[in-house]
Amino acid sequence: MHINLTDKSYSLSIRMSPDGFSLSVYSEDNDLLSSERHSIHNADLTQCLGSVCASLPGFTSVSLVTVADVYTLIPAIHFDADKAKYFLQLQHPALTEASQVLHTYYQHTGSILIYAFDKQAIKAVQTIFPQISIQHHLHQLIEANQKATGEQISIWLRSGKADCLASRGNSIQLLNSYPFQTEEDIVYHVLNILHHLHFNHETIQITIYRESDISILPEDILRNYFPSINLKNIPTAI
Cβ proximity of 116 and 99 under 8 Å: yes
Q: How crowded is the C-beta side of 215, counted as CA atoms within 13 Å?
A: 0
Here the CATH number for the domain that contains residue 153 is 3.30.420.260
Domain boundary among 113, 137, 161: 137
Strand-pair category, 161-168 with 151-158: antiparallel
Q: How many domains does the chain have?
A: 2
Closest to 153 in 3D by CA, of 204, 78, 92 = 204
Cis ω on the peptide bond leading into residue 235 (within 30° of 0)? yes
pLDDT tens profile 111-125: 999 999 999 889 888
pLDDT tens profile 60-83: 888 899 998 999 999 999 999 999
Cβ proximity of 105 and 76 under 8 Å: yes
Q: Say what the pLDDT of residue 7 is.
A: 47
Cβ proximity of 88 and 116 under 8 Å: yes
- The pTM of this model reads 0.85
Judgement on whether residues 92 and 123 belong to the same structural domain of the protein: yes
Domain span holding position 36? 1-137
Distance CA 98, CA 103 (A): 17
Question: Which whole number is the average pLDDT over 119-141?
Answer: 89
Judgement on whether residues 79 and 191 belong to the same structural domain of the protein: no
